[in-house]
Amino acid sequence: MRRATLLILLLGLSLSLALLVARHEDGTIAGLLNEDFASLSIKIALLVFLGGIVLALFKERFSHAVESALIWVVIALLLVLGYSYRFELRDVAERVAGELMPGYVASRGRIVEIARGRSGDFPLRAHVNGAQIAMVLDTGASSVVLTQEAAKAAGLPLEVLKYTVNVDTANGRASAAPVTLDRIGIGNLVERSVPALIAQPGQLKTSLLGMSFLNRLERWEVRGDKLMLRGYP
């Protein structure tokens, strides 16, 4: 029974920490300010373990009482530290994910980092008109270029497209249709009304992130195996 109660309380504190990290930008949780919610969680934890000490003393289990007290003190400290360093922990988690998963977009404010893939390119996931699209950085492309499949996922009207623009691809010269994307986002960087091209069916394997998006940024550069994108404040 005691172990089951302890597990339930540990789960409750873990959930409290998760809420503090996930909702820190909103400022409130269940009508309480984040600081008040954290303080309340800690007070509840302290109250419970003090009650456990009293109960254990009555049962002549002093060693178990001390053990429980130490556990709750550690939990309370972890809760406070986790909330205090939530931004740093999120940054570390994104950097680790970027190293382990090439193409993962790690955002820090208006800065986005993307790790180089095994093929030497910079693969990434962009949101085009709300749809998640796999793309590859191509600084030689004057525009963002979408495959037919990506254009369909983004809700573009394929049936009325006119392929009037000549483009050079890995398969040779092809024709593409000019369009304007309502919205394209990479991490925290979002641009609207971005000129783009739709490649003819079978002419392109992967969508390209070209200069019509990169030119909207304050700066972009390649540092070793990292692509750095910086948006305007």
- Tens of pLDDT along 53-106? 555 555 555 556 556 666 766 676 677 666 665 555 555 555 555 555 556 777
144 inside domain = yes
Evaluate if pTM is beyond 0.85: no
The tokens describing 205, both together, are 């394997």
Question: 43 burial class (0-12, 13-18, 19+ CB within 10 angstroms)?
Answer: exposed
Closest CA to 106 of 93, 118, 88: 93
Confidence of residue 226 (pLDDT cuts 50, 70, 90): confident
Instruction: State residue 104's pLDDT score.
Output: 73
Same domain, residue pair 30 and 131: no
Task: Flag the least confident range among 19-33, 93-107, 172-186.
Answer: 19-33
What are the DSSP calls for 18-80, one per residue? HHHHHTTTT-EETTEEHHHHHHHHHHHHHHHHHHHHHHHHHTT-HHHHHHHHHHHHHHHHHHH
156 inside domain = yes
The tokens describing 224, both together, are 């070793």
Q: How far apart are CA 123 and CA 142, in angstroms?
A: 18
Q: How many domains does one find in the chain?
A: 2
Question: Which amino acid, 40?
Answer: L
* Residue 217 belongs to domain spanning: 101-230
Instruction: State residue 75's pLDDT score.
Output: 74
Which DSSP symbol is given to 141? -
Same domain, residue pair 159 and 223: yes
Same domain, residue pair 73 and 158: no
The tokens describing 226, both together, are 């990292």
131 inside domain = yes
Q: How far apart are CA 80 and CA 171, in angstroms?
A: 57
